[in-house]
Amino acid sequence: MIDSVQALAIFESMLLIRRFEETVIDLWATVETESHRHVYIGQEAVGATIMELLREDDLILTTHRNHGHVLARGADPGRALAEILGRANGFNKGRGGSAGLTVREAGFLATTGQVGGGIGLGIGAAQAQKIRGRGGICVTFFGDGGLEEGIGFEAMNIAALYRLPVLLVCENNSVGVTTGRAQNEWSSSSMAAETLGDIPRALGIATEVVAGESVTDVHEAASRLIGDLREGRAPAFIEMRTRRWPGSRSFNPQLVTGVTNLDDIWEPVSVTGEYSDWINRYDPVIGYGRDLFRQGRVSRSEIVAMNERVGRTVEAAREFALASPLPSAESGLAGTFA
């Protein structure tokens, strides 16, 4: 059982991610910002919960689908949004963009668009933590495609050989960029193994499969494995099975499920329309909100107040990002070397 303070923190973090991503999609339509983006809608429970379990000195590797991870780790939403819009005040001076948003002060080492690339880097970060010997770990997030590249296997083998404290979090949203193979019930987009976990398991890596839309399930498995890692039982692998958000499209995500209506938490019957099944069964924000509401751990007015607070944060981020200048072309010529 997650204590209430932590539970509410996770929920607020999920709500922040959701409102932020809705803003990102809205800006895509209204602001001439170029660049593809991969939003985190539908996977909030994974990022928000795991980040809540990490220490300040833990290190993180992530992918093009990183917005949720960065926000849940407490990075300033304004600078994050500015980076996503390619502005000079973004965390990476506008060079990284949505797919390369990297926040070192929040523990992120690299946000890589090379599929599987972060799995290789993650074992290096874990090696660093092992040397430092202070119980810090590394969490590497990757999609189901990440294991299709050879480096995934190589890195897991090394991590297992040297007992490196890395938590491999495969966020299986069961969708390739264009193939959209949602129909195959989660095995992976293109993997011969029965489950993704079969591969690390063959190398002797502790492996879990979790329903990724459930904060409770994510929390239970992740807290246990993270504890193991800190005590030297490493590495570990979690496959987070999330259900593809229907609006997911990398070049032009569409808010097909609409702006999330928190009334759906206390009025489940109000959910209608083409995507009502997704909202009722797989939307982690609505789902966890309902859990907390039903358990009496949060009141409607508290959720409304939380929503207003998050709204103000996101609005401030939006204003900051839009007020940020674009970088000058010359600014990109500097800084190849440290």
**Alpha-carbon span 229 to 182, nearest angstrom:** 32
CA distances from 139 to 58, 267, 281 (A): 8, 37, 28
Residues 86-105 that bind other proteins (CB under 8 A): 86, 90-100, 102-105
CB of 311 within 8 A of CB of 296?
no
By CB under 8 A, residue 332 contacts other proteins: yes
Q: How far is the CB of 236 from other proteins (least distance, A)?
A: 17
Q: Which is nearer to other proteins, 105 or 315 (CB)?
A: 105
By CB under 8 A, residue 115 contacts other proteins: yes
By CB under 8 A, residue 68 contacts other proteins: no
Q: Which is nearer to other proteins, 34 or 315 (CB)?
A: 34
Pairing state of beta strands 236-241 and 166-172? parallel
By CB under 8 A, residue 74 contacts other proteins: no
- Amino acid identity, position 249: R
DSSP 287-320: HHHHHHHHTTSS-HHHHHHHHHHHHHHHHHHHHH
By CB under 8 A, residue 337 contacts other proteins: yes
Q: State which of residues 1, 5, 269, 333 lies at the interface with other proteins (CB under 8 A).
A: 333
> Residue 100: which H helix or E strand, with range?
helix 97-100
Rounded to a whole number of angstroms, the distance between the first and last alpha carbons of the chain is 46
Q: How far is the CB of 213 from other proteins (least distance, A)?
A: 24
List, in sequence order, every residue forming a beta bridge with 112; answer none if it has no partner: 63
Q: State which of residues 50, 59, 238, 314 lies at the interface with other proteins (CB under 8 A).
A: 59
Residues 288-327 that bind other proteins (CB under 8 A): 326-327
Q: State which of residues 4, 35, 254, 295 lies at the interface with other proteins (CB under 8 A).
A: 35
By CB under 8 A, residue 123 contacts other proteins: yes
Q: Which is nearer to other proteins, 44 or 83 (CB)?
A: 83
H-helix segments, 175-299: 198-202, 215-230, 263-266, 276-282, 284-294
By CB under 8 A, residue 252 contacts other proteins: no
Q: Which is nearer to other proteins, 10 or 109 (CB)?
A: 109
Size of the residue set binding other proteins (CB under 8 A): 76
Q: Which is nearer to other proteins, 151 or 310 (CB)?
A: 151
Question: Which of 187, 143, 188, 137 minimizes the C-alpha distance to 159?
Answer: 137
